[in-house]
Structure 1
Amino acid sequence: MALNIPGLVAVIVFYVIILATGIWAAWKTKKEERKGNRTEVAIVGGRNMNFIVILFTTAATWVGGGYINGTAEIVYLPSKGLAWVQAPLGFLSAFIIGGIFFVKPIRSKKYVTMMDPLQETYGNAMGSILFIPSLLGDIFWFAAILASLGATVSVILGVAGYISIIISACTVVVYTLLGGLYSVAYTDVIQLLFMMVSLWICVPFALLNPATENIFYTAFNGSYQAAWIGNIETEYIGRWLDDFVYLSLNSITWQIYFQRILAASSTWQARITSCMAGVLTAILAIPSVLIGAAAASTDWNQTSYSSPSPAERGESSMILPIVLQYLCPTYVSVAGLGAIAAAVMSSADSSLLSASSIFAHNIYKKMLRKKACETEVLCIMRISMVVFGSVAAGLAFLSHSVYDLWFLSGELVYALLFPQLCCVLFIPNTNTYGSAASFLFGLILRLLGGESTLKLPPVIRYPGCRLVDGIYVQLFPFKTFTMLVSLTTIIFVSYLTRFLFGKKIIPIRWDVCNIMKESKPHNLQSSSEEQIDLRPSSINISHLDGHT
């Protein structure tokens, strides 16, 4: 494929703008660091970031390359369709649930990261173990979206994918390293604006192409493949609900979410921002839906792409860049590429900052070097950015394998980390024994459900488990079932061990986690800004009814 010189120049200009914005934000960070805690400025923006900036950076983080590419792909797939596009509504639910239930308790003690309450309750050792699935999720996510960008660039610009992966990773690492959350947030604003404008420019060209039939007709009467509106067969309802609840609850349990919540100047602002970001995230899926519908309504024989169709060639995952390349003019497809690049970078920098923040603050500062000064912690944070960024860039060349590993790590966060976070925030007297038992049991139960990525056949075949194309598919909502079992385990084991030690049924000298020395319930002393009472009598267990 010939090199697209105008497109390449446009993309280079875009990268220069983003890098310049990140460097400007780094200068602003230096000014803020003179006013207070340097680590807090780098990680949570000094807790006084602008409302609009937080709103845009929160939405931009979730609207990544996988989000806009994946939405178009699902709408286009003959076996899926719009009925299976769950991410927009799932993220909307997640942000509303997070804003209502999680914002106040996580802000009450001015935590710096999501891991702080976990370490405070279960100890540093257990906290470091709980960090592992979160770290893997951030790295695999970074790698997956870099891989998505590399594939897109190769289609539209004719440039080798590995070049865009390396350049994008280096750009993200540089401005994130220099400015922390300020650089990430302000570049996210530019990226989100560019993304919104660019994608909407592409939509009318894709819909009005002569090869594309009216999408309102093909929504229910597919001309070239199945109707793109899709449907949910009765036997797949359990799987659909499992995926939706997973998205609605698991999306909360990430440092990238709490990093923005903690950066707000007040609890009220954090709650409003969370809910509005959910709405904005859902709206930003509309262009991708329309592009996917256009692809499903196109006679590809009338385009230079020719036959067979992308679905028949196994290129459904690339449907968005294919539409931009073959249904839009060159200058429009370049704008669409810019939108994808913006989406990728807005998510990549957030995952990089998330992983390095937790490592520097929770692992290095709290465990390895408790007397480390602010300068040392920031230095470690920046070194970890380079290391994690390099690892993610290397993994990006694995392409589909990285996507599989990202999905698996996300499911582990859902099954292992979400129940633990719920307990430390809403349920008193859970302890390290319950946490360890829940982590171990949840991990085993999830792996026994099977995982094609690791070539693990399901040992536990839940109701509806079937063999599809040589791979076992669980139709039972086993991800949510595993999460609920993990949640039940931590509560049961925590109260059981406290009872056994309290009644001297087990000798106190065997209490290696010293839970009996902490006889009073978790009392998260509130800051002067807001007070929260977590005594047993005041806990509302109904808060646990929701999850991502």
Structure 2
Amino acid sequence: MAVNIPGVIAVVVFYVLILGTGLWAARKSRKAERNSHGNRTEVVLLGDRNINLLVGIFTMTATWVGGGFILGVAEAVYSPKMGLVWALMPIHYMVSFIIGGLFFAKPMRNKKYVTMMDPFQIKYGNVLSGALVLPSILVDVLWVSSTLLGLGATMTVILDMPYAYCVWISSAVAIIYTLLGGLYSVAYTDVIQLCLVFLSLWLCVPFLLLNPISTNIAHTAFNHTFQKPWVGTLEQDKVWKWIDDFLMLGLGSLSFQCFHQRTLSASSSRTAQLTCYAAAFFIAILGIPPALVGAVGASTDWNLTLYGSPSPYVRGEPSLILPLTLQYLTPSFISMIAIGGVAAAVMSSTDSALLSATSVFSSNIYKNILRKQASDNEIQWVIRVTVVVVGLVGTCITFYTNSPLVLWLLGADVSYTLIFPHLVTVLFFKVTNGYGAMVGYIIGLTVRILLGENLIGLPVVLHLPGCTLEEGVYVQKSPVRTVSMLCTLATILVFSSLTFFMFNHGLLPERWDIFKVKRNVAMCPVDPITQNLKEKKEQEAESDAECDENRHGVVLQPIM
């Protein structure tokens, strides 16, 4: 195998640029730490809550436009079994950001949480919230794997370098600059990375559309040529699955720590909301180039290229369609620029996932559960070690699958079915308590496992309506992920309401109330004598306020 020396040099230059930006941001981070009056952890994890609108838009968009996003969209459009109708990830995330800006960004930022898991820990205590932290960390680890897998596959094809070298080198670079400056390094390198992604991907588009080997994509969109039309079809028996995928990606993304880390680090609640709205627009724009790559790949007679016959799909390489298309259908210097864009996309997501998992573990597990008396310096070392461990675990997972899309979907599945309903209930339903959350977690996880998942070979045990046997494997036709999510959501609310009623009406002894739901006096029946005393105090306070107004012209409001 002859290594592509010019390509390697281009990638090295890119990595030096990223590391240089990371070093500059690390200096800014250290300066902020000196001015933080002891709150160094918040500086590392949230950039001292001082990320402005422009940088916030860049880092929010770059976080989601990763290797899994770019290669996943291209793979879905190219695959004859899917097509463009199944590759609406940019639209999914656009919807997600808009909903996040409308309903989640402001309440989370106003309460100054450090991580998405803080409201769970405040309401449920350490034990139950610790169990809820685990799927959140798993989602970020899978995200690290998905992004690195995308970069490894691309660099292997274009640079002719061994896959292991590509993955480990890229992982090491991301780990190093994340260690250097925390969120400051992540956010400011995202600015450089997103610019490279935007320019490199759009630069490739004219060369792909005008190459003489491929058939016009307008013709192949709805007509059979070398394979099925790349627009794809939506059969009647797959409508529910399409809706399921749309809701999973659109709503499940709201329970990613990466998303909330960007809103919580914003300089204000208004900035957090505007960041979401602007990122929604840019992520839709950045989803167009990989979709066009997939369309061109589906419109190409690969027998006329140096790649030869059969096609990538027949060889079992649909996940490599983006690097293969760039390698064989564009000039070499364009493919070199493209690899820089893909590398930028991967880095921007990998570092975000690294810091996301690190934030949850160091703040919600180590600091609040394992070592409550831990010093600020000790937490800094925990953060560094966690970044390295998460990076190593995520890198190792890339050697067990060849599809970034699979890892991407699995992470979104866990987030949607388990974390999302818990986040919604803890933020917006006052009746929610630890009993409902615990039972919801158990039932939601059990239902999701019983419904099966063909992506990882998990057999179907619980058959929903429409479940059929195809090639010896049961295939669910119902929206299994949404069913699991709704089961979790309904269980939380029902059991929370039930236990609240039983403890506050004496149907269960108070000594059994381990989650202290009876302390929630806001919804408890009020004793008539207590109510009369309260009303009397309020009347006295109002009378005193009127007297003060007559004397000073100022109304003093009573402190409730």
Alignment of 1:279-290 (within 5 A): 279-290=281-292
Read off the aligned partner of 2:52 and give its amino acid letter.
N
Residues 1:30 and 2:30 are matched in the alignment:
yes
2:115 to 107, 113, 116: 113
Q: CA deviation at 1:451?
A: 2.5
Counterpart of 1:534 in structure 2 is none
Counterpart of 1:253 in structure 2 is 255
Contact 2:147–2:404 under 8 Å retained in 1? no
Counterpart of 2:511 in structure 1 is 509
In structure 2, stretches of 5+ residues that fail to align are 525-560
2:151 to 149, 153, 156: 149
1: CA distance, partners of 2:387 / 2:330: 38
Contact 2:44–2:181 under 8 Å retained in 1? yes
Contact 2:71–2:404 under 8 Å retained in 1? no
Contact 1:74–1:84 under 8 Å retained in 2? yes
1: CA distance, partners of 2:199 / 2:471: 41
Contact 2:71–2:405 under 8 Å retained in 1? no
TM-score (norm 2): 0.91
Counterpart of 2:12 in structure 1 is 12
Q: CA 1:453–1:78 in structure 2 vs 1: closer, same or farther (change >3 Å)?
A: closer
Contact 2:149–2:403 under 8 Å retained in 1? no
2: CA distance, partners of 1:310 / 1:456: 27
Q: CA deviation at 1:412?
A: 2.3
Alignment of 1:169-248 (within 5 A): 169-248=171-250
SS at the partner of 1:313?
coil
Counterpart of 2:168 in structure 1 is 166
Read off the aligned partner of 1:213 and give its amino acid letter.
T
**Ranges of 4+ aligned residues in structure 1 off by more than 4 Å:** 401-406
Q: CA 1:256–1:406 in structure 2 vs 1: closer, same or farther (change >3 Å)?
A: same
Residues 1:428 and 2:460 are matched in the alignment:
no
Alignment of 1:72-83 (within 5 A): 72-83=74-85
Contact 1:352–1:385 under 8 Å retained in 2? yes
1: CA distance, partners of 2:228 / 2:330: 23
Residues 1:304 and 2:267 are matched in the alignment:
no
1: CA distance, partners of 2:254 / 2:269: 17
1:414 to 416, 422, 432: 416
Q: CA deviation at 1:517?
A: 3.0
SS at the partner of 2:377?
helix
Contact 2:68–2:147 under 8 Å retained in 1? yes
Counterpart of 1:347 in structure 2 is 349
Q: CA deviation at 1:133?
A: 0.6
Residues 1:94 and 2:100 are matched in the alignment:
no
Residues 1:457 and 2:459 are matched in the alignment:
yes
1:50 to 49, 52, 72: 52
Residues 201-249 of structure 1 deviation map (CA, whole Å, 9 limit, x = unaligned): 1111111111111111211223211111112111111000010011110
Read off the aligned partner of 1:138 and give its amino acid letter.
D
SS at the partner of 2:208?
helix
SS at the partner of 1:78?
coil
Residues 263-300 of structure 1 deviation map (CA, whole Å, 9 limit, x = unaligned): 11121111111011011111101111111111111111
Q: CA 1:406–1:215 in structure 2 vs 1: closer, same or farther (change >3 Å)?
A: closer
Q: CA deviation at 1:403?
A: 6.0
1: CA distance, partners of 2:267 / 2:324: 43
1: CA distance, partners of 2:230 / 2:315: 18
Q: CA deviation at 1:429?
A: 2.4
Which stretch has the larger CA shift, 445-454 or 35-44?
A: 445-454
2: CA distance, partners of 1:198 / 1:469: 42
Contact 1:428–1:521 under 8 Å retained in 2? no
Counterpart of 2:272 in structure 1 is 270
Read off the aligned partner of 1:25 and give its amino acid letter.
A
1: CA distance, partners of 2:102 / 2:85: 27
Q: CA 1:406–1:296 in structure 2 vs 1: closer, same or farther (change >3 Å)?
A: closer
SS at the partner of 1:467?
strand
Contact 1:81–1:231 under 8 Å retained in 2? yes
Read off the aligned partner of 2:288 and give its amino acid letter.
I
Residues 301-351 of structure 1 deviation map (CA, whole Å, 9 limit, x = unaligned): 221112111111111110000001100111111111111111111100000
Counterpart of 1:539 in structure 2 is none
2: CA distance, partners of 1:327 / 1:468: 37
2: CA distance, partners of 1:403 / 1:232: 19
2: CA distance, partners of 1:325 / 1:471: 37
SS at the partner of 1:278?
helix
Count of residues in Structure 1 that have an aligned counterpart in Structure 2? 522
Residues 79-137 of structure 1 deviation map (CA, whole Å, 9 limit, x = unaligned): 22111112111000000000001112111211110000111111111111001111111
Q: CA deviation at 1:72?
A: 1.0
Residues 1:333 and 2:335 are matched in the alignment:
yes
1: CA distance, partners of 2:458 / 2:313: 28
Counterpart of 1:445 in structure 2 is 447
SS at the partner of 1:251?
helix
Contact 2:248–2:412 under 8 Å retained in 1? no
Residues 490-520 of structure 1 deviation map (CA, whole Å, 9 limit, x = unaligned): 1110111111111211111111222223434
Q: CA deviation at 1:399?
A: 2.5
Contact 2:200–2:338 under 8 Å retained in 1? yes
2: CA distance, partners of 1:322 / 1:454: 26
Contact 1:140–1:402 under 8 Å retained in 2? no
1: CA distance, partners of 2:474 / 2:376: 50
Alignment of 1:493-508 (within 5 A): 493-508=495-510
Q: CA deviation at 1:468?
A: 3.3
Q: CA deviation at 1:178?
A: 1.1
Q: Which has the larger radius of gyration?
A: 2
SS at the partner of 1:68?
helix
Contact 1:412–1:443 under 8 Å retained in 2? no
Counterpart of 1:525 in structure 2 is none
Contact 1:137–1:409 under 8 Å retained in 2? yes
Q: CA deviation at 1:409?
A: 4.1
2: CA distance, partners of 1:171 / 1:157: 18
In structure 1, stretches of 5+ residues that fail to align are 523-548
Contact 2:101–2:276 under 8 Å retained in 1? yes
2: CA distance, partners of 1:387 / 1:287: 34
Q: CA deviation at 1:414?
A: 1.2
SS at the partner of 1:311?
coil
Read off the aligned partner of 2:12 and give its amino acid letter.
I
Q: CA deviation at 1:406?
A: 5.3
2: CA distance, partners of 1:359 / 1:21: 26
2: CA distance, partners of 1:414 / 1:132: 14
Alignment of 1:512-531 (within 5 A): 512-520=514-522
SS at the partner of 2:363?
helix
Read off the aligned partner of 1:24 and give its amino acid letter.
W
Identity of aligned residues (%): 50
SS at the partner of 1:58?
helix
Q: CA 1:453–1:302 in structure 2 vs 1: closer, same or farther (change >3 Å)?
A: closer
Counterpart of 2:21 in structure 1 is 21
SS at the partner of 1:265?
coil
